[in-house]
Structure 1
Amino acid sequence: AVVHLSSLPSSHPLYTPICRAAKCYVAKHHSPLHHLFHITGVDPTKLKTIFPVQHCPSYLPSFTKHIAQSNDLALASAEDTLSNTKAVVYCDGSGYKNNIGVAAILYVNRKELKALKLYIGPKTQHIVYEAEIISILLGLHLFTDLAYRLPAKVILDSNSQATIKALFNQCPYPAHYLLD
């Protein structure tokens, strides 16, 4: 019940009394809210709200996906893609030494044209899945540099099956706001 109350939006009429009750345990005239927040120790300001998906249920993406069955097939597919497609962006997000970062590299005619790297933050505040989504956003940003000369077929390549599947899944979950 405390977590549910703590996750109410700021527009809700109970939001202000909940924040006040959680802030301090008063000496006299305790309300049930004071008792709940004192016993559980939940801080409403530290909870992250996951918002519902902003697409209609009939939403269909304007792109296709392909997930290889094995690493060998994925490597062969990547080599084939690079040789047969004019513009390809490879995206990756990862965690290293308790930090999270992302990178995206744009290849045009099999030559590296541009690369973007971004430090997201420490692992205590971010997850690798979030970094994978941000790497796709970086990849899309690289395609905007080609907007005036963009070929008919472009490929955005990611090694995260969860992220690829999430692009077609319209259920709310952590970091989904990045895909909206």
Structure 2
Amino acid sequence: MGSVAITKKLQAVQRRAAIGITGAIRTTAGDTLDAHLNMLPIEETLRLTCQKAAARLASLPATHPLSKFVKRASRGLLQRHNAPLHRIFHSIDSKVDNLKTITPASRNPNATNPFTISIEESRMLAKEADNNSNGNNEQVVVYTDGSGMEGMIGAGAVLYRDREKLVGIALGVQLAKMERIIIPCIKISLDSQAAIQGMENVSAKAGQHIIHKIHRAIDELRNDQKRRQELVEASNDETRIN
């Protein structure tokens, strides 16, 4: 990748750094130094850098100013006068159409989360906290889980309301939205700390569109619960007047 002169200069810099780190003599083979330090050969490092750049460019949304130029360059090399963008996409093995497009997060970074997160230190503490909370003020509790196999994703959710079990294949928030009662508090439990922590960090990376949908569903649920509460209060006022 790149010109031979640039590659040789970078290779010399990497070799000098490897000798300084290991304290080896100057006649030590460069391949031995790379293997000892677990470093890729400079050619592979440049190729990997180009592949990462191609993946980032290919994952840009259609609204990005570079999107149309990226699609044009990803079609293949030209007969003459190829731009660096053409060569970068020619260096990757996979097709650009197979790469996932990451949509930028459209949520206000200063917005506060409409929920609280709790991660216990052990399984026993989590089980104890779950048992204690079920006996307090949680009227609706949702347990969720998901897994992937052979390129397919599956998810399940179980909702408990006043010890009555409802089973469905849906997100826990969607199950809560199906309830036709006023819910003072909802608890959603799952066994993935990465998913729980990811709910707080909304940014432009893989999987964020799911988190964005969850945030939007929670906001819709809160607004719906607020409207129901206002209707109940208005109905009670009319009853007292009559």
Shorter chain as denominator, the TM-score bin is 0.7 to 0.9
> Displaced runs of 4+ in structure 1, greater than 4 A?
96-99
Structure 1: any 5+ residue segments left out of the alignment?
Answer: 119-137
Task: State the SS of the aligned residue for 2:174.
Answer: helix
Equivalent residues in 2 for 1:73-88, closer than 5 Å: 73-84=125-136, 85-88=138-141
Which among 153, 173, 176 is matched to residue 205 of structure 2? 173
1:92 aligns with 2:145: yes
CA distance in structure 2 between the partners assigned to 1:155 and 1:13 by the alignment: 42
CA apart distance, 1:4: 4.1
Which among 142, 152, 162 is matched to residue 175 of structure 2? 142
Which among 40, 43, 49 is matched to residue 95 of structure 2? 43
CA apart distance, 1:57: 2.3
Task: State the SS of the aligned residue for 1:31.
Answer: coil
CA distance in structure 2 between the partners assigned to 1:107 and 1:25 by the alignment: 58
More helix by share: 2
**Structure 2 length-normalised TM:** 0.56
Output the amino acid matched with 2:169. K
- Aligned partner of 2:161 in structure 1 is 108
Alignment check: 8 A CA contact 2:102 2:206 kept: yes
Alignment check: 8 A CA contact 2:143 2:172 kept: yes
Task: State the SS of the aligned residue for 2:153.
Answer: strand
Alignment check: 8 A CA contact 1:6 1:44 kept: yes
* Cα 1:154–1:37 shift into 2, 3 Å: closer
* Cα 1:69–1:19 shift into 2, 3 Å: same
CA apart distance, 1:156: 1.4
* Cα 1:8–1:83 shift into 2, 3 Å: closer
Task: State the SS of the aligned residue for 2:74.
Answer: helix
Q: Indicate the structure whose relative CO is greater, using CA pairs within 8 Å and at least 6 residues apart.
A: 1
* Cα 1:145–1:71 shift into 2, 3 Å: same
| Cα offsets for 1:119-174 (capped at 9, x unmatched) | xxxxxxxxxxxxxxxxxxx111111121x313312211122211221222233331
- Aligned partner of 1:6 in structure 2 is 58
- Aligned partner of 1:19 in structure 2 is 71
Task: State the SS of the aligned residue for 2:135.
Answer: helix
Q: CA RMSD in A?
A: 2.5
Task: State the SS of the aligned residue for 2:61.
Answer: coil
CA distance in structure 2 between the partners assigned to 1:177 and 1:98 by the alignment: 18
Give the aligned length: 158
* Cα 1:164–1:38 shift into 2, 3 Å: closer
- Aligned partner of 2:124 in structure 1 is 72
CA distance in structure 2 between the partners assigned to 1:57 and 1:46 by the alignment: 30
CA apart distance, 1:99: 4.2
Q: Which has the larger radius of gyration?
A: 2
Output the amino acid matched with 1:48. K
Q: Identity across aligned pairs (percent)?
A: 31
